[in-house]
Structure formats: structure tokens, C-alpha cells
Structure 1
């Protein structure tokens, strides 16, 4: 496996850790009556700087088309959700794989994640060439 692929997986994993951390931490600061909704809102906003940070880290040392990097980030996050998030955090709280992966917000956040990495990666590449 090439160093670019390994670096992209590591950076994607770092972003995933940030996302899960913000999601879980939001339960300890109750603001809304619905803690699940609050956690989702926190994740929607937290994924922006997290994805930018991961993209920035990758492009400091790596080289890859932004669209490929974005797909890698989304794929890694989905795999980590399937292997870690659902069995450790969702199922013990009464959820299921179908509930987690069937939630429209899951796909909304994935699309958001993809486009943040795509656009910020494109921006970073253009800045590097300028």
C-alpha cells in the first residue's frame, strides 16, 4: 500500500475520532431536550473544522486528487462506524445497525463530509500552486 493511501487512512481516522468525540461530549452538556438531536447538530458543525484539519494534515505530506481523498475519508469513517461506533455506542443504548445506517442524517453528514474535504482539498492545492 502506498504511503499516500496510508496517510489518507490515518488522517481520515483522526477526523473520525474528532467527530465521535464531539458527538459523545455533546451528551454531557444538555442544551436541548432531545440529546440525540443535539448530538447530531453538534456533529454537523464539528465535522467542518475536523474535516478541514484532516485534509490539511494530509496535504502537508501527501498528494492525491481531492475527490479521491474525500471518498477515502467517507469510506474510512463508514467502516469505523460499522466496526466501532455501532457496536460500542449505539447497540448498548438500544440502537441497531439498521437504525444507525438507515438514518437520513447519517447520509446527510456523509455528503457534507465529502464536499468539505473536496472543496478544502481543492483550495489547498490551488494555494500550493500559487
Structure 2
């Protein structure tokens, strides 16, 4: 059986893949004049069902405090942003690490991500306990 820490990391990677996929896909469907703003709006909207899915799958097979799971999801996403998102997608388009991590929207999405996982985790663990 896979450990709960490893499984939480795998669930977090799946959520990150969903988020980055929709973020990149939104660039190919121009609706707003500013494609970066459009992609951030899409990510803000997509992170909620993606985080819910990852949280649901995790709690279907394992248990961890919701705050620990939320922190794991956020740390995995930030690590993947450092290792993949910035060097593969941001830098080739003229951006930098400081542009990416200096953007206030990044921190808004991180906070939204954390509290979404925390909320759904608390909701799902209450169902487990009763």
C-alpha cells in the first residue's frame, strides 16, 4: 500500500496538472485583450473544482488533517512551479522567476488553493467521522 504522504503528493500533482493545463489552454482561446489576465481568471475558477477533486480522491483512500493536506498541496504546487512552470512556460516567453513570484495574483491563488483544500477537507472529514 502506498503511504499517505506519497499519495497526498500524487493527488497534489494531479491538481497542479489540471490547473496548469487549463491555464495554458486558456491562452489558445483569446477572449480578453490581456491573455495573462484571462489565464489567471481561468485558474482562479478552475482551482476550486480541481482542489475539490484532489481532496476527495485523497480522503476516499486515506486520512490526514485537512490543514496538513492543504499545506502539502500548496507546497507541491509551488515546487512544481519552480521546477516546471517558470523554466518551461514563463522564461521562454520573456518572463522570470521574479515576475512570476512577484505577481500578487500568484499569492491570491495560493491562498485560494489552501483554503479550498482546507474547506473541502474539513467537510469530507466530518462525513468520515459521523
What is the TM-score normalised by the length of structure 2? 0.97
Please say if 1:30 is aligned against 2:25: no
- Aligned counterparts of 2:38 and 2:44: Cα–Cα separation in 1: 10
Partner in structure 2 of residue 96 of structure 1: 96
Q: Does 1:84 align with 2:84?
A: yes
Q: How many residues align?
A: 129
Cα RMSD over matched residues?
A: 0.8
In structure 2, distance between residues paired with 1:63 and 1:102: 34
Corresponding residue SS for 2:21: helix
Aligned twin of 1:44:
44
Structure 1, unaligned runs of 5 or more: none
TM-score by length of 1: 0.97
In the other structure, the counterpart of 2:111 is: 111
Match of 1:7 in 2: 7
Please list the CA deviations of residues 16-73 of structure 1 after superposition, one character each: whole Å capped at 9, or x if unmatched. Answer: 0000000000011111000000000000000000000000010011110000000000
Deviations 1:66-109 (A, max 9, x none): 00000000000000000000000000000000110111000000
Distance in 2 between residues matched to 1:53 and 1:129, nearest whole Å: 20
Instruction: State how far apart, in whole Å, the 2-side matches of 1:10 and 1:57 are.
Output: 10
CA distance in 1, matches of 2:102, 2:5: 29
